[in-house]
Amino acid sequence: MEWLNVSVAPLKDLLAFLYKKSQTRDVHKKQLIMELRNNLNVFKNGFLNGSPHDTVIDLLSNDAIQSAIKENFSFKTLRHGVIKADIVYEERNKKYVGWTAEKLFDKIDEKIVELKTIKRMNNNSVKDVKNNITLMTGNLYYRMKLMADFIRSRS
């Protein structure tokens, strides 16, 4: 998880923002923001402690996303509009310009499900899989960071 090294410092401010933002009466909004915050913390702490990918994958959660989808939650309450280029700080995230919060959360959910499925399919470990787990987890982290940046943005 070397790729996380460059974004640990700015992540602290983002996590503090998400904590403040989660203070709401809207149950689904609160759960989604808390889950996003908790997942980002999993990546941060996993990096700092050199945790294996298996542990990080086990600790990632998408329950709030699944629940919000089942309840037909309007993701617009998290952030109206679309992702604009000025909040995309990673080249790999340029493809998400123009996406809504709902569409990006769907992609985050999809990747968490995929990682957990790959792990289950391979004797509960991603150690010897042919998939590029480092790339997959890196992409997931940067999608989550983009979502937090999008929620925080004013444009």
Q: Digits of tens for pLDDT over the chain (155 positions)?
A: 554 555 555 777 777 777 777 666 778 898 999 999 999 999 999 988 999 999 999 999 999 999 999 999 999 999 999 999 999 999 999 999 999 999 999 999 999 999 999 999 999 999 999 999 999 999 999 999 999 999 999 74
* pLDDT confidence of residue 24: 66
Domain extent listing, the chain: 2-152
The rounded distance, in Å, linking the Cα atoms of 54 and 141 is 15
The DSSP code sequence of the chain is -GGGGGGHHHHHHHHHHHHHHT-SS-HHHHHHHHHHHHHHHHHHHHHHHT--HHHHHHH---HHHHHHHHTT--GGGT--S---GGG--SGGGGGGTT--HHHHHHHHHHHHHHHHHHHHHTTT--TT-SS-HHHHHHHHHHHHHHHHHHHH---
CB 108 within 8 A of CB 154: no
* pLDDT confidence of residue 20: 73
* pLDDT confidence of residue 18: 76
* pLDDT confidence of residue 15: 73
* pLDDT confidence of residue 9: 55
In one letter, which amino acid is 56? V
